[in-house]
Amino acid sequence: MVRLVAAVAVIFLVWPQGVLAQETAEEGDVLAEAIARNPDRLKDRLVDLVAGFGQDGGLTAEGIAEYIAIERAGARAAGLRRYLAMDLDADGSIDGEEMSAVQRAASAASRGRMVRDFAAADANGDGRVDAAEIAAAGQAAALRSLDEAEADLLRAAMRLDANSDGRLTPREVTEGIARLAEAG
């Protein structure tokens, strides 16, 4: 009986480190790759995320999902705002005349970006960006600001939750990244 309890205790103490070390060896592991690239940058980013979106002692998976949604919504709104500012007659679409008028008022540096953005948004190539194309451009801006690979990395950070309580703390981030950086 004593041996069984001792074996269980050893497994319990070693389990989180062993699992994390094994996971980081897997090819394509976004967490391991981020740690290998720049462990201090990842640590700082995750600790900041815990401070900003963590509640009741730590950051949860729901907090990470909320952060991703808020970041994407902000970028989507900024992307939409650019197009809405070009819709001079407020008809929900932008035509070549509106584009020309806005370009004349813009700085030289932003003119090229406007042309590039307009062409990218005009999915059907009819020389007009309609409401559906504006919405699609906004969604594309959201994904550019925080793409799925970055979202996967943030979600993977929950593996650093050493005590498996569903709440990631700054200490768990710091110690987990240090441990994985040494193992990597």
SS3 assignment, position 55:
strand
Cα→Cα distances 183→19, 125, 145, 158, 175, Å: 12, 52, 31, 18, 12
Reported residue count of the chain is 184
Helical pair 148-156 and 30-37, crossing angle rounded to 10 deg: 90
In the chain, what percentage of residues exceed pLDDT 90?
A: 72
With 50 as the cut, is the pLDDT of residue 9 above it? no
pLDDT at 119: 94
Q: Provide the pLDDT confidence category of residue 112 given band limits of 50, 70 and 90.
A: confident
Distance, CA of 25 to chain centre: 23
CATH of domain 69-145: 1.10.238
pLDDT at 37: 93
The tens digit of pLDDT for each residue in 37-77 reads 999 999 999 999 999 999 888 999 999 999 999 999 999 99
Asked whether 62 and 174 are in contact (CB, 8 A), the reply is no
Separation between Cα atoms, residue 173 and residue 162, nearest integer Å: 9
pLDDT at 28: 59
pLDDT at 162: 95
pLDDT at 111: 86
67's CB contacts (< 8 A; 6+ apart) are: 49, 52, 53, 154
